[in-house]
Amino acid sequence: EDSEEPTSSKKVKLSKIAALKKENNVKISEPQWSEHELLAEQQNLTLNVAKNIVKLFEDGNTVPFIARYRRDVTNNMSPETLREVKETYEEIIVLKNKINTVVKNLEKTEVLTEQLKHNITSSRSIEELEYVYAPYKPGSKRTLAERAKELGLEEPALSLLHNQSEINLSDYVQKDRKELSSVADVEKGIVHIIASIISTDTEILSHLRQLRKRTNFIIKTKITKKPPLDEGKFENYENFEIPVKYIKPHQVLAINRGESLKVLSVKVVVPDNIFYDFQRVCFRKWSCENSAHQLRHNILKQAIEDSYNRLVQPLIIREIRAELKQQAEKASCEVFSTNLKHLLLTAPLKGKYILGIDPGFANGCKLALISPMGELILNNVIYPHKSQSREKDKMILKNMLQEHNCELIALGNGTACRQTEEWLTNLIQEKIFHPLDVKYTVVREDGASIYSCSAEAKKEFPKLDPNIISAASLARRIQDPLAELVKVEPKHLGVGMYQHDIKKKHLEEALNDVVSECVSFVGVDLNTTSQCLLRHVAGLSDKKAQQVIEYRNKNGPFICRKQLLEVHGIGQRIFQQCAGFLRVGPLRADDATAFYKNSKATKLDSTYIHPESYDIAISLIKKLNLKLCDVGETQFINVIRDKAPQLDLPRLNDEFKSNTQTIQLILDTLSKPLNHDLRSDCPQEPLFKKGLTSIDDITNGTVLTGRISNVTHFGCFVDIGVGINGLIHVSKYNGLNLEMGNKVEVKVINVEIERKRIGLEALKQL
């Protein structure tokens, strides 16, 4: 039973299009382009790869599944590129759907001609479609061309344009009608009709699209009124001028915001060569060498100029602005997505007791100590910022840490963080916790308070104060960041900038896709996972995750992946998408022997290998004279690592009727232990400290170590432990590829204490 309503609005649109295609009784107005052709053009793909991707998305495949298990047909496309391609494909489907709607609307009003239908179905962007459709929208103001047609001037206009016959303008003069009272009025009406025809001609529009790609446009801005107090950033855009091809996404978003606030005026400078080229192409198409008709030449010249100045140039400017906005929003979403991905894939710090502290003044600092398994075992509230209770609070903290030999503290970065950090620093320097070597790290609190009051938190801690839950969540964010952070909507995790300049739905969908990708690629243990984590696995939803948990509670632990097909609501399609990302194995290492005696159990269920490739994996293991029961063992792994580089992959492809990417995935997976965590491939432990630095202690030239806390298009922010994040401008990266979570050594190049700004230069990545 695979039927389930898609959760995102874009998926709903896709399903509607698919339904329209399948209904024979619904007339579809197909565009003059195919989906894969337009996708290939917009994403710079080969036609074959674009066709494969369209087919994969049409069949309901998810990005994580395609990125891992269908690389052979996507030319090894990365998940990030696939997300971008998917977004473009969805926009193409929306355009296709809108073309169909426009044609049906025009058919109802009986104004649809074959030429108009051709112009509409040739549209290759929403802006172009809106431009062609605008004059025919219900309630829209009649265009100059429409008014001229109503005066009976369409026939002479077409005759002149196509050089069909001699036209005497005075024949159309009507003294009793104001709009036709003179030859000049008749000529003006004919010019408007021809200008409209020229501006919507598909050949001309196609030429303009190509011309735009080769032309360098300039954006100019200036301040029109004094900006609001909190919008001083617009000072940068006074008499600002930049070529369109060099403008940065954050500049586009800032300019658009300034324009909407009526603080900035924006002008796109279109070079004169665009008009001259446009004029040349128009004359080439409609000028007749054997025609010496001066009237026709003059009217055609006027129509070309009118078409350009009144219709074509504004269209070019609108399209440039729309493309810049779209590109800036996509780029900003990508920054959010990349930052979120690095945050979620931070290596876990397992096997440790960790104390979480949610700092505060009047309401005290909330303490929560978690076990190596993430269970809350102790909690308390202390008031270290009230002098009368400091000695008592010091002993409470000391006893909690020493009782469980806990040496790691996760301190929230909210209210009273700086003061609590000073207090902890003094205690560490006074060796209060001796013989423990206590260290602390400052943890982002973004979303912790939202989670602590959620139904998810109430379900796990039904009788616990939300403030204590926040402290426990901070500790878990260090112990297993992915498992804890997925409990919070990604938009609340504070991983980007210009959030309010991006469409809310667009951003949420992009971030949710990243969460699904991260959870899927890390993998989820089917027998221990929570519903909260499981629902983010590719192919599953909250409802399906609940059904899996209910099945597990009723029937006991899963023995194999294939058992998922017994869960109500999960059929072959959903199984295909999620199975490779779910792990099934013994609950404890001691149970392994008994667990694998069951004929349904296989060690391959604890790997990244998809069940559809088990036969190939088993054949490959036999070919290498190894045993399936030894998968994951040290000797087995060593043999795979020794022999894999010597294998002839093309020959194996033919032998197993497979492809290089699948064979390579199997070999890579077999060369790792069971339940391998990809986060361990590039571990980055939290930056633990034993003391803090004050902003008053740093000057130009001071060298510090910090962790990158946010990345933008203009630079990255670094937590250097002074209470204010410093900024490394992109010009100060010194060739380093800096990403969120990186540990870096930096040099202070500028300090503005009053403005709370610290400028940094990157020295090296640690």
355 pLDDT more than 80: yes
Question: Taking CA 201 as the corner, what is the angle to CA 197 and CA 203, rounded to the nearest 5 degrees?
Answer: 155
Alpha-carbon distance of 589 to 676, in angstroms, equals: 15
**What residues form DSSP beta bridges with 760?**
728, 748
CA count, 13 A, side-chain hemisphere, 416: 18
**What residues form DSSP beta bridges with 223?**
264
Task: Classify residue 422 as exposed, middle or buried by CB count within 10 Å of its CB (0-12, 13-18, 19+).
Answer: middle
Helical segments of 535-683, H only? 542-555, 572-578, 592-595, 614-623, 634-643, 649-656, 660-670
Backbone angles phi, psi at 392, to 5 degrees: -65, -45
106 pLDDT more than 80: yes
Alpha-carbon distance of 516 to 539, in angstroms, equals: 9
Question: Taking CA 562 as the corner, what is the angle to CA 558 and CA 480, rounded to the nearest 5 degrees?
Answer: 50
Which element (helix H / strand E) includes 148? helix 144-150
Alpha-carbon distance of 446 to 709, in angstroms, equals: 12
Q: Given this model, what pLDDT does residue 599 score? A: 93
For every residue of 370-406, DSSP letters joined together read: E-TTS-EEEEEEE-TTSGGGHHHHHHHHHHHHHHTT-
386 pLDDT more than 90: no
Q: Give the pLDDT confidence of 308-320 residue by residue, as tens digits.
A: 999 999 999 999 9
**What residues form DSSP beta bridges with 335?**
none
Task: Give the single-character DSSP code of 310.
Answer: I
Residue range(s) occupied by CATH 2.40.50.140 in the chain:
695-765
The arrangement of secondary structure in 179-341, i.e. its CATH architecture, is: Orthogonal Bundle (1.10)
**Which residues, including other chains, have CB under 8 Å from residue 227's CB and lie 6 or more apart?**
234, 235, 258, 261, 263
Lowest-confidence region among 224-233, 632-641, 732-741: 224-233
Determine how many CB atoms are found less than 10 A away from the CB of residue 533: 20
Lowest-confidence region among 291-300, 463-472, 545-554: 291-300
Average pLDDT, integer, range 33-59: 95
Alpha-carbon distance of 77 to 67, in angstroms, equals: 7
507 pLDDT more than 80: yes
- The answer to whether 241 and 220 have CB atoms below 8 angstroms apart is yes
Q: Give the pLDDT confidence of 588-604 residue by residue, as tens digits.
A: 888 899 999 999 999 99
2 pLDDT more than 60: no
Domain 695-765 coded CATH 2.40.50.140: yes
CA count, 13 A, side-chain hemisphere, 298: 7
Q: Give the pLDDT confidence of 403-428 residue by residue, as tens digits.
A: 999 999 999 988 888 889 889 999 99
Residue range(s) occupied by CATH 1.10.10.650 in the chain:
9-141
Q: Give the pLDDT confidence of 546-588 residue by residue, as tens digits.
A: 999 999 999 999 999 999 999 999 999 999 999 999 999 998 8
Residue range(s) occupied by CATH 1.10.3500.10 in the chain:
179-341
Sign of torsion over alpha carbons 539, 541, 546, 547: negative
Confidence of residue 506 (pLDDT cuts 50, 70, 90): confident
Q: Given this model, what pLDDT does residue 3 score? A: 44
Relative to beta strand 376-382, strand 408-412 is: unpaired
Confidence of residue 498 (pLDDT cuts 50, 70, 90): low
Q: Given this model, what pLDDT does residue 138 score? A: 75
Determine how many CB atoms are found less than 10 A away from the CB of residue 565: 12
Determine how many CB atoms are found less than 10 A away from the CB of residue 460: 15
CA distances to 91, 201, 695 from 103, rounded to whole Å, are 18, 17, 64
CA count, 13 A, side-chain hemisphere, 245: 6
689 pLDDT more than 60: yes
Token pair listed for 88 = 């473009």
Task: Select from 518, 553, 531 the least CA-distant residue to 456.
Answer: 531
Please, what's the b/e burial string for 363-379 (b: 16 or more CB within 10 A of its CB; e: otherwise)? ebbbbbbbeeeeebebb
CA distances to 237, 266, 321, 325 from 224, rounded to whole Å, are 11, 10, 19, 21
- The answer to whether 120 and 133 have CB atoms below 8 angstroms apart is yes
Alpha carbon 615 to its chain centroid, in Å, reads 36
Model confidence pTM above 0.85: no
Q: Given this model, what pLDDT does residue 192 score? A: 95
What's the per-residue H, E or C state across 661-690? HHHHHHHHHHCCCCCCCHHHHCCCCCCCEC
**Which residues, including other chains, have CB under 8 Å from residue 393's CB and lie 6 or more apart?**
382, 383, 384
The torsion angle over the Cα atoms of residues 367, 379, 450 and 491, rounded to 10 degrees, is 60
Determine how many CB atoms are found less than 10 A away from the CB of residue 530: 16
Q: Given this model, what pLDDT does residue 46 score? A: 96
**What residues form DSSP beta bridges with 282?**
none
Residue range(s) occupied by CATH 3.30.420.140 in the chain:
354-479
Alpha-carbon distance of 424 to 438, in angstroms, equals: 10
Share of the chain above pLDDT 70, in %: 93
Q: Given this model, what pLDDT does residue 293 score? A: 74
For the domain 354-479, what is the CATH code?
3.30.420.140
Q: Give the pLDDT confidence of 655-675 residue by residue, as tens digits.
A: 999 999 999 999 999 999 999
229 pLDDT more than 60: no
Determine how many CB atoms are found less than 10 A away from the CB of residue 241: 12
Relative to beta strand 439-443, strand 703-711 is: unpaired
Q: Given this model, what pLDDT does residue 19 score? A: 47
Q: Given this model, what pLDDT does residue 76 score? A: 94
Average pLDDT, integer, range 321-328: 91
Instruction: Work out the mean pLDDT of the chain and round it to a whole number.
Output: 88
398 pLDDT more than 90: yes
Determine how many CB atoms are found less than 10 A away from the CB of residue 722: 21
CA count, 13 A, side-chain hemisphere, 128: 21
Confidence of residue 683 (pLDDT cuts 50, 70, 90): low
- CATH H-level superfamily of 9-141: RuvA domain 2-like (1.10.10.650)
